[in-house]
Amino acid sequence: MTAVTLPEVLTVAALLFVLGLVAIFTRKNAIGILMGVELVLNSANLNLVAFARFNGLDLNGHVFVLFVILLAAIEAAVFLAICLAIYRRFRDIAADQVRELQG
């Protein structure tokens, strides 16, 4: 029996990625979709950190994770601002109800 290997960590990350993607795909509520996006981003972060650890603790991966976290924060802020704007206009943030721009 050996210590935890890289494929095991990657499998956990892959599971989270898939769960996030399914959430994006099946959630009706816009904020539910945002939660799925966060899961996807997090699984990518886990991959980067895992590769860094199993590559002689290469800190380039950590820097990437920091940028991803920062962009996730930006994305969440703008996303929620848009949600609030949509809610004020339509009184609902279900992604399939807002179809004014649909031809």
Partner 1 sequence: MVDVWLERILFYGLALVTVGSALVVTFGRNLVRSAFALFFTLMGMAAMFVYLAADFVALVHILVYIGGILVLILFGIWLTHRVIDLDIRAGRIQLIPGLILGLVLMGLLGLTIRSFNLAARTPAPYRATASGIGRLLLSTYLLPFEIASVALVVALVGAIVIGRRETSR
Positions 14 through 73 that interact with partner 1 (CB under 8 A): 14-23, 25-29, 31-32, 34-36, 38-39, 42, 45-46, 49-50, 52-57, 59-60, 62-63, 65-67, 69-73
How buried is residue 53: exposed, middle or buried, by Cβ count under 10 Å (0-12/13-18/19+)?
Answer: middle
When asked if residue 1 is in the footprint of partner 1 (CB under 8 A), the reply is yes
Interactions with partner 1, residue window 79-98 (CB under 8 A): 80-85, 87-88, 93-94, 96
Given the structure tokens 């994006």, which residue do they identify?
Answer: 24
Q: Tell me, what amino acid is at 74? A: I
Name the token pair of 41: 């981003």
Which of 71, 103 has the CB closer to partner 1? 71
Smallest CA-to-CA distance from 45 within 31, 59, 23, 64 is with 64
Which of 96, 103 has the CB closer to partner 1? 96
